[in-house]
Copies of this chain bind each other. A is one copy, B any other.
Amino acid sequence: MSNNIKRIAVMTSGGDAPGMNAAIRAVVRSCAYHGLECYGIFRGYEGMIEGDFEELGPRSVKNIINRGGTFLKSARSKEFRTAEGRLKAYQELTKAGIDAMVVIGGDGTFTGAHILYKEHGFPIVGLPGTIDNDINGTDYTIGYDTALNTVVEAIDKIRDTASSHNRLFLVEVMGRDAGDIALNAGVGAGAEEILIPEQDMGQDRLLESLKRSKKSGKTSSIVVVAEGDQIGKNILGLADYIREHLTEYEVKVTVLGHIQRGGTPSCYDRVLASRLGVGAIDALLAGEKDVMIGISHNKVVTVPFKHAIEGENEIDIELIRVADITSV
């Protein structure tokens, strides 16, 4: 225990994700539980460099477990990418008497933390907070489950119109490199086709598939497209291509956009955030540093930052088969 840690800071960085507030709350309360002081750092690495800190007690985080976004705010910092910027950040942390830190964010956030640790030996533990579920070593990231529900609810609404008008809708969802949101939300929304970056379907196979759908008696169709998919990148062009070659379809496009990042977190994300927040303080007290706290097989696990930020997203072959079968 101990390692002489008495004052801990917590920070969110990168794109916001539902459940970040629940994670901050768990960190702050876990500090109180262990008799540690806790400081919030505002606006990510930017605020760290500027020394924008504030002490947080257990009542500071009341009534935030259900709120989307992050009350500590988030920002990108060019300065932190320089060695000078990181030195300044380190000096602000030590000046404020902070002994260790919990950062909540995605791989960019972890990369920054990893370098700060390497350069200055500052003990940092990370929590995976991003809707993209693209972090190595954790089965789920905080915010992913909520984003899936948001996408599925949105497509449920679009399906009302699709089936009322016998239309084909192309729905673009987030996922520049990872098709997790598209694949899971596509299966959950009952999409006819799902286009993901990990797998290039090709326009012609998509056309073939849509023709088969029509023949099988389907009167309306939803195609879910991850923004990073090869043929879906230019979604308006894809719509034109389909219109040209499948004249029986009335094709419409919807880009879901930023609604996917916000919203009240799901129960799963709140519980995950609470478990990981508690786990972060446990890890720091046990002398861990330069690691992410993740969830694997429903157990809280420790993963070196180095491992968390490397690796390519793997495609879930079983789920692709489920998608194919259930859209018969």
Contact = CB atoms under 8 A, between A and B. Distances in A.
Interface string A1-38: 00000000000100110101000011001101100000
A262 B158 contact: yes
Contacts of A274: 187-188, 322, 326
A161 B258 contact: yes
A277 interface: yes
A59 interface: yes
Given A30-B326, A63-B190, A157-B262, 20 more contacts: A26-B322, A26-B325, A63-B163, A66-B159, A69-B163, A75-B166, A139-B298, A145-B267, A151-B267, A156-B264, A157-B258, A158-B259, A161-B258, A187-B270, A187-B274, A190-B270, A268-B268, A271-B322, A275-B322, A278-B321
Interface stretch (A90-98, A114-122, A249-257, A304-312): A249-257
A188 B298 CA distance: 16
A130 interface: no
A133 interface: no
Contacts of A63: 159, 163, 190
A264 B163 CA distance: 14
A326 B277 contact: yes
A185 B300 contact: no
A82 interface: no
Interface size class of A (residues with CB under 8 A): 35 or more
A141 interface: no
Contact of A18 (B148, B160, B217, B263): B160
B318 A300 contact: yes
A324 B165 CA distance: 32
B33 A325 contact: yes
Task: Report the copy number of this chain in the oligomer.
Answer: 4
Secondary structure class of chain A's binding surface, majority of residues = helix
Interface of A: 12, 15-16, 18, 20, 25-26, 29-30, 32-33, 43, 58-59, 62-63, 65-70, 73-75, 139, 145, 148-154, 156-161, 163-166, 169, 184-185, 187-190, 216-218, 252-259, 261-264, 266-268, 270-271, 274-275, 277-278, 297-298, 300, 318-319, 321-322, 324-328
